[in-house]
Structure 1
Amino acid sequence: MIRNSYRSGKRPARKKKQVSIFGVIEKYVNLDAFFEGGLPVKYLPKIVFISLMGIIYIGNSHMTEKNTRKIDKLQVEVEDLRANYTTLKASYMYASKQSEVAKSVKKMGLKESLVPPVKIQVKKSEY
């Protein structure tokens, strides 16, 4: 049985028809006329060439980005290695000073000579 119900003067909101990109393209570009006589094979080499060039272009840009990231990573590594080299070189230079060598050999029981070295001269007739 149908019931009587109160209806307001407003109708329920209608859903808007969603417009897609392909719908807009189909509206303005008449592709049916283009394919009326079948697939135009005469354009196939051009389409394949353009597709191939697009794939090569995309691959090239990916390879460039990959190489750029690799270069940045290697530059950071080189900076770290350069800092380590500088630190080790400074440490070596400090450890090879006469006073530091004297301190380290004192533990072995060696003493630093206080007498300067003497030059030995040999006559030509002796050798």
Structure 2
Amino acid sequence: MAQNTFRTPKTIARQKRKSRLTNWVNDVIGLDRLFGENNSWPIRNIDRILWITMLLIIYIGLTHNAERLVRRIQRAKIELDELRAQYTTLQADFMKSGKQSELSKRVAPLGLTDSQTPPRKLVVKPDEY
């Protein structure tokens, strides 16, 4: 069985400090008028109520921040898809423009045409070089 002990001055000072805080809050806000003088539950637990309120405010702020971040990520993904499609289209156009048939169409107004005779093979004899 536990022994009875005397209270130390530190615990008494803590209780007085806590009661001073609740008395001050009660004087400023006037919670006893709202809840009645006999019902002092909100006054005694004001520190817990304020702590939970602070945690709820932080939770709501973090939720808004997370939602904003998700929206920014979605916007970035859409922009990335558009840029990827544009890159693919430009690359296909570039590859098509390098073909001989496309080049001959572009140089025709300059008076250049493809040769109708096949190319000739040059043969170099080993003693000539």
Band of TM-score, shorter chain = 0.5 to 0.7
Q: Which amino acid aligns with 2:78?
A: V
Identical counterparts, % of pairs: 34
Q: Is 1:96 paired with 2:91?
A: no
- CA displacement at 1:46 relative to structure 2: 2.9
Partner Cα distance (1:74, 1:65) in 2: 14
- CA displacement at 1:60 relative to structure 2: 0.8
Corresponding residue for residue 70 of structure 2: 68
- CA displacement at 1:119 relative to structure 2: 6.9
- Closer, same or farther: CA 119–82 of 1 in aligned 2, 3 Å: farther
TM-score by length of 1: 0.55
CA RMSD of aligned residues (A): 3.3
Q: How many pairs does the alignment contain?
A: 94
Deviations 1:84-117 (A, max 9, x none): 2211211111111111111111211223355548
Unaligned runs of 5+ in 2: 1-34
Partner Cα distance (1:117, 1:57) in 2: 81
Partner Cα distance (1:117, 1:54) in 2: 86
Partner Cα distance (1:117, 1:85) in 2: 40
Unaligned runs of 5+ in 1: 1-30
Q: Which amino acid aligns with 1:64?
A: A
Q: Which amino acid aligns with 1:54?
A: L
Q: Is 1:39 paired with 2:18?
A: no
- Closer, same or farther: CA 119–69 of 1 in aligned 2, 3 Å: farther
Partner Cα distance (1:74, 1:86) in 2: 18
Deviations 1:24-63 (A, max 9, x none): xxxxxxx533328x933xx444333222211110011111
Matches within 5 A, 1:1-127: 31-32=35-36, 33-35=38-40, 39-40=43-44, 43-113=45-115, 116=119
